[in-house]
Amino acid sequence: MARSLVIKVTAGADAPERCNQAFTVAAAALASGVPVSLWLTGESSWFALPGRAKEFTLAEAAPLEDLLDAVLAAGRVTLCTQCAARRGITVDDVIDGVRIAGASTFVEEALGEGVQALIY
């Protein structure tokens, strides 16, 4: 069985390099044929909303909007239930293709056979 990645990104505009690294690794893995599940938690939760990734900029980095689009097209993007609730984000607010799920789902994915979990 092929290995897959579960990537949890906790940083957003508050730590732009760490945030962009998570999205870059997710997109690069998908481009290499690795299945990816990207979890938006903490300040990265805002990127589940339409237009928010477009507002993010980091010099010498791929546009976050392009990276997110790549993950949405070929992988899975999940917004943390508690993080969404703390920010008043509902299922009706998020980009098409983003699901909202909780810690038990993250644990189930992260402990799957052949899974490597990374946290940024």
Per-residue model confidence as pLDDT tens for the chain (120 residues): 579 999 999 999 999 999 999 999 999 999 999 999 999 999 999 999 999 999 999 999 999 999 999 999 999 999 999 999 999 999 999 999 999 999 999 999 999 999 999 999
Question: What residue has token string 């979890």?
Answer: 39
Tokens representing residue 73 in the block: 């097209």
The pLDDT value given to residue 42: 98
From residue 103, give the alpha-carbon distance in Å to each of 14, 26, 36, 67: 23, 20, 17, 24
Task: Report d(CA 56, CA 64) in Å as an integer.
Answer: 6
The pTM assigned to this predicted structure is 0.96
The pLDDT value given to residue 91: 98
Give the number of other Cβ atoms within 10 Å of residue 55's Cβ.
Answer: 12
From residue 113, give the alpha-carbon distance in Å to each of 15, 26, 74, 110: 31, 19, 20, 9
The pLDDT value given to residue 2: 78
The pLDDT value given to residue 95: 98
Provide the CA 24 distance to its chain's centre, in angstroms: 10
Residue 28, judged by CB atoms within 10 A of its CB (0-12, 13-18, 19+), counts as: middle
Q: Does domain 4-119 have CATH number 3.40.50.1460?
A: no
Which residue type, as a one-letter code, is found at position 26?
A
The pLDDT value given to residue 5: 98
Coil vs helix vs strand at 115:
strand
